Amino acid sequence: MAIQLYNTLTRKKEDFIPLEEGKVKMYVCGPTVYNYIHIGNARPAIVFDTVRRYLEFRGFDVQYVSNFTDVDDKLIRAANQLGTDVPTVAERFINAYFEDVSALGCKKADVHPRVMENMDIIIDFISELVEKGYAYESEGDVYFRTRSFDEYGKLSHQSIDDLQVGARIEVGDKKQDDLDFALWKAAKEGEIYWESPWGIGRPGWHIECSAMAKKYLGDTIDIHAGGQDLTFPHHENEIAQSEALSGKLFSRYWMHNGYINIDNEKMSKSLGNFVLVHDIIKQHNPQVVRFFMLSVHYRNPINYSEELLESTKAALERLTTSYQNLKHRKDASTDLTHNNQEWLEKIAALRKQFIEAMDDDFNTAKAISVLFDLSKLANYYLLEKNTAIEVIDAFTKQFEELFQVLGLTMEKEEMLDEEIDALIEKRIQARKDRNFQLSDQIRDQLKDMNIILEDTPQGTRWKRG
């Protein structure tokens, strides 16, 4: 069965057929590194890392490129506020980005190009557009002639005549047409700049991705991905300038993940609900955050809240507990062959269902439901009086393999001694209050974490199993 993905360009699911058999060229728009990344930045990082992992699982050789915007207005403002320069700000938050997304289980891209390290190719790209008549210089700025590209609007599915000037379109006196967008900006006093044929300045935002995608992946790539908010104007402008220059299709497939709401409200600084990953992973296991992000189909909006994160934690623990129980049972298992094939076929059927879910536009929500079916099946198998090493190994292998596809690990989070002591105190109080349900819940929770309790006349003692 072929992988199908939803192509924003055509607004329908299509069979995924890369340009070169067995190989995938994939470009994902990365962050502007002026601050720690927020939870909205984390979603595309996790989603498209998972897409990459699944393509590799299905046998593709994936060339994965994700850029850093390390110079723009936000970085200049941040540098001024911090009393330093733009390269220092960029380096600080690039390092912070790697720390945060690594904690979330994201692999590094094959290449993480930066604007400041690719200025020559960006200037050359702009120069060629000017030579071909698609761009023009105006008082030190360079603009793309939007109306010169006949297919402008094909990604966002809007007519150029219907585009509203001022709606995410920068109006300016230097332009020949208000729909034209900046490829190069003349430097203002005190700003970071580079020499160019049009004077000192720096690139516009959109040109960097086109130039770096061309450098590292070629004129035509297989998948271009990013957040839904980038569809227009960023990705629309990328298409225009790339295809105007090369005369070729820029990307065969376009993928966009949905928005994130915080407590059912759109995340924004003005609402004060701007949540940084740097802060979240201090309070929550990063694996739980990743699992939460994958629990909803990537194209759908997702609502973030502390309550939902807590329920996600409990759900993930159910899966890891099943896995740990299997590993513990292996030592007591034998080489019995009775009914082994029947169980192995059930495990294989669930693996097939997982693949079918992921083949259907990378439906991680459905794939996770298959993991819970695998967990239920494993728990049911462990009720058997006699278990076989062959079946136990098949279960654990599937857990490990399918978790790895989702960028998750099967290891349970290690509890600190003080956390265990606090839970025991809570259990003691629950017993005093005759709240036996809570007492049993805490005991079971600690048991799942491989903490053994001993109630003695001198009090409750614990040890790691």
**204-250 pLDDT tens trace:** 999 999 999 999 999 999 999 999 999 999 999 999 999 999 999 99
What is the mean pLDDT of the segment spanning 367-394? 95
Question: Would the pLDDT of 463 be above 80?
Answer: no
Question: Would the pLDDT of 164 be above 60?
Answer: no
pTM, full prediction: 0.88
Taking alpha carbons only, the member of 395, 394, 403 closest to residue 294 is 403
Amino acid identity at 155? L
pLDDT at 415: 57
Predicted confidence (pLDDT) per residue in 423-440, tens digit: 888 888 888 888 887 888
**Taking a C-beta distance cutoff of 8 angstroms, is the pair 324, 316 a contact?**
no
Name the percent of the chain lying above pLDDT 70. 94
DSSP 8-state secondary structure symbol assigned to residue 83: T
Token look-up 């000037």 returns 165
**Residue 261 is encoded by which pair of tokens?**
């709401």
Other beta carbons within 10 angstroms of residue 451's beta carbon come to: 17
Lowest pLDDT segment from 123-137, 160-174, 404-418: 160-174
Q: pLDDT-derived band of residue 166, with 50, 70 and 90 as boundaries?
A: very low
What is the mean pLDDT of the segment spanning 272-284? 87
Cα 138 from Cα 145, distance rounded (Å): 12
Q: pLDDT-derived band of residue 368, with 50, 70 and 90 as boundaries?
A: very high
Non-local CB neighbours of 338 within 8 Å, separated by 6+ positions: 386, 388
Classify burial at 159, counting beta carbons within 10 Å of its beta carbon; exposed 0-12, middle 13-18, buried 19 or more: exposed
**Residue 444 is encoded by which pair of tokens?**
């079971």
Other beta carbons within 10 angstroms of residue 101's beta carbon come to: 24
Question: Would the pLDDT of 185 be above 90?
Answer: yes
Q: pLDDT-derived band of residue 190, with 50, 70 and 90 as boundaries?
A: very high
The mean pLDDT of the chain is 92
Predicted confidence (pLDDT) per residue in 126-155, tens digit: 999 999 999 999 999 999 999 999 999 999
**Residue 264 is encoded by which pair of tokens?**
């059912």
